[in-house]
Amino acid sequence: MIIIGAYLLGSIPTGWLVSKLRFGRDVREEGSGATGATNVARQFGIGWAIFVSIFDIGKGIGAVLIARVIAPEIQWLQGVVGITTIIGHCYPVWIGFRGGKGVNTALGIAAVISPIAIVFGFAAFITAFAISKFISVGSISAVLAYSLSILIFGQRFNATGQGQIIFALILPIMIIWTHRENIRRLFRGEELKPVRDR
């Protein structure tokens, strides 16, 4: 039930709700076709993107905290709940299984599971985005750095639990998969800007 609840929580389509309730549009009809904050920024501006980001991060935090409170003795559960929440965000049952890319929700999960490793992820994001100017490049770099820091240096900051390892192993695969179209556009030189020209 905890895992199913995590999927349903992750499935709350924050970006889609904003686009429908505030603007009467479907955010998926333009830009990258995703419901996440980056596509919201392209269409509706940075302010709404921040709003969506906060809620999407909150979904990740909430799901893992619920698992930690209800079943703290099950070591692997937090990692599985984290992955399930991201699946819900990317493939939400409420809107035809077409959601976001999962990065902000993953950030919320990481903040609970292994917050120290986020430092590596932020450093990678800032560096990659500064060089490339693309959110997708920064996001993929951040996830890879976060996971590698746990797998390589996890013993130094107490990130060796089953849930942490499960999350670190599966997260990069998921994020690369959800960004597969971005990767194709990057190779073609057609990747979208984070915020459209106004």
108-143 pLDDT per residue, tens: 999 999 999 999 999 999 999 999 999 999 999 999
Q: Is the dihedral of CA 26, 27, 31, 34 positive or negative?
A: negative
For the chain, the C-alpha Rg in angstroms (whole number) is: 16
pLDDT digits (tens, 9 = 90+) for 18-41: 999 999 999 999 988 999 999 999
Distance CA 105, CA 110 (A): 9
- Predicted pLDDT at 197: 42
Residue indicated by tokens 């619920």: 66
Q: How far apart are CA 20 and CA 25, in angstroms?
A: 5
* This prediction's pTM: 0.93
User: What is the rounded distance in angstroms from the CA atom of residue 130 to the CA atom of residue 140?
Assistant: 14
Q: Where are the domains of the chain?
A: 2-188
Contacts of residue 1, defined as CB under 8 A and 6 or more positions apart, other chains included, come to none
For tokens 């596509």, name the residue: 39
